[in-house]
Structure 1
Amino acid sequence: MSVILQFDFQFPHEVLINRDTQALAESITHEPGFVSKIWTQNLKTGEAGGLYRFQTEEHAQKYADMHVERAKKMGAQNIRYKIFTVNEPMTKITFGEKFFP
């Protein structure tokens, strides 16, 4: 059963728009248990984060532990994350698999 890892944090506006995130995005695809990610940001409020799908809670937790430290080094503040189990039957009814095929 897959899980969703939800991250959000405060990030300086200039970092959000100037940082080269392609290398970061490519590195995420090689994380153990990684399935997919939706990147989120709000330039008005200086918030960023993402919704990740991992194969297991253990994979998501290991990634979260690492990513908290990485985000701090990049200048993120007020870092928060939660891990949720995907309710797959209900997700299919509401076309959620289109977000996370």
Structure 2
Amino acid sequence: MAYILQVDFKMNGPFGDNMAKEFEGLARSINDEDGVIWKIWTENADTKEAGGIYLFNTKKNAEKYLEMHTKRLTSFGITQISGKIFDINKILTNINHGPIDVLEE
């Protein structure tokens, strides 16, 4: 079983290429977190929102990461943070080509 973690928050920037430059180190460090399989970075400069969709190997690792990441974002002055953990319906996700082919059957 694997779990999706969805994190969204208000942020004044940076976005786009500037975000990629400034957060490259953070992105690389996420690969070292327990249980992270992948992350999709999300951003909307028009509404000043950012976040990510993560795939974790266990619910416990997703919960642990969410707790740590919420503290990190708060230390950056970000307060409007939404974090949710979801089960994955593999059958329906596979129909729609969701990137979960890395999961064991």
Q: TM-score normalized by structure 1? A: 0.89
Instruction: Tell me if structure 2 keeps the 8 A contact 1:12–1:75.
Output: no
Percent identity, aligned pairs only, is 40
Equivalent of 1:85, from 69, 87, 90? 87
Instruction: Tell me if structure 2 keeps the 8 A contact 1:12–1:76.
Output: no
Partner of 2:71: 69
Q: Which runs of 5+ in 2 are unaligned?
A: none
SS at match of 1:48: strand
Aligned residues: 99
Deviation at residue 97 of structure 1 after TM alignment: 2.4
Instruction: Tell me if structure 2 keeps the 8 A contact 1:11–1:77.
Output: no
Q: TM-score normalized by structure 2? A: 0.86
Equivalent of 2:25, from 18, 23, 26? 23
Task: Name the CA distance, whole Å, in 1 between partners of 2:44 and 2:80.
Answer: 15
Partner of 1:47: 49
Moved more, 76-85 or 59-68: 76-85
SS at match of 2:99: helix
Q: Which runs of 5+ in 1 are unaligned?
A: none
Deviation at residue 75 of structure 1 after TM alignment: 2.5
Q: What is the Cα-based RMSD across aligned positions, in Å?
A: 1.7
